[in-house]
């Protein structure tokens, strides 16, 4: 069998790559994609823990469902916001959206 730590390391890596995308991609949609990767990493961790350590604890699975809900909501609202921003400012590059400084 595959050791649990492999799954954990894999999801950590996925999370880190997602974080990189969020922090470094210039496009708002790209950032959003990174965010989705991070959420995926979380779900993977939860499922792996559930399978290996507590196969009878439903809490992990329920939590995965709620993470899914949040991810879907976040994508919908996030993209709606991006569309609104794009309509207003004609750009979706984060480094051009700094009206909130100071």
Please list every residue from 4 through 43 that binds other proteins, using CB under 8 A: 4-10, 12-27, 29-34, 36-37, 40, 43
**Applying CB under 8 A, does 79 fall inside the site for other proteins?**
yes
Query: What is the footprint of other proteins within residues 46-75 (CB under 8 A)?
Result: 47-48, 50-66, 68-73, 75
Residue 81: left if φ>0, alpha if ψ -120 to 50, beta else—which one?
alpha
Distance CA(66)–CA(72), nearest Å, equals 10
**Applying CB under 8 A, does 89 fall inside the site for other proteins?**
no
| Shortest distance (Å) from residue 67 CB to other proteins | 10
Distance CA(99)–CA(102), nearest Å, equals 9
Total binding residues for other proteins by CB under 8 A? 83
Closest C-alpha to 35, from 66, 71, 82: 71
């Amino acid at each position: 069998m595959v050791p649990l730590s492999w799954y954990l390391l894999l999801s950590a890596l996925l999370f880190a790559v997602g974080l990189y995308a969020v922090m470094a991609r210039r496009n708002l949609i790209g950032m959003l994609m990174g965010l989705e990767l991070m959420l995926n990493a979380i779900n993977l961790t939860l499922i792996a823990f559930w399978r290996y350590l507590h196969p009878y604890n439903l809490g992990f699975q329920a939590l995965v469902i709620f993470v899914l809900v949040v991810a879907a909501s976040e994508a919908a609202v996030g993209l709606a916001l991006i569309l609104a921003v794009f309509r207003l400012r004609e750009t979706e590059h984060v480094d051009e959206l700094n009206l909130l400084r100071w």
